[in-house]
Amino acid sequence: MAKPTEENIHLPDFAVPMVRKLEDHFVEDDIKLNELMANNNKGLILYFYPKDNTSGCTTQATDFTANLHKFDELGYEIIGVSRDSIESHKRFIDKHDLQISLISDEDERLCQYFEVIKEKSMYGKKVLGLLRSTFVFDKDGNLTHAQRNLRAKGYTDRLLSLLPPA
């Protein structure tokens, strides 16, 4: 599989497991992001985060949920991606009443496609970790914004100030 360049990233055509909560039950699907975009006539904010239920990741997910109506008015769907399992995502969604969909990328296929796994220094040791990153696609599936290694606090407000309608 060819790696995307920052200038020419397209949504992949392979399936990934996703979960969301509708009313009082969970809906799990294997989705292809390119097909999702073709069928829903909305832009897509695909954000990668390191781990469910950690402080920065919780801040980011709850901020996206709190501002969901603003993103919806601009014509964007929001999907979070981490290497956590679907079961972990369900607990994360329930605990924080998240209204966004989450992709489980346990095999790191999507993370590798978007090249968000990078060497980091943690407590003086080199480890491979997921860089908090966001990719914004317009309703035609064109990448309009990409940011890697970002800070979670206040990010949704910064992103909203940059986004044109999808």
> Which residues are designated catalytic?
57
Q: How far apart are CA 131 and CA 123, in angstroms?
A: 17
Helix ranges (DSSP H) in 68-163: 68-74, 86-96, 109-113, 155-162
Secondary structure of residue 104 in the 3-state scheme: strand
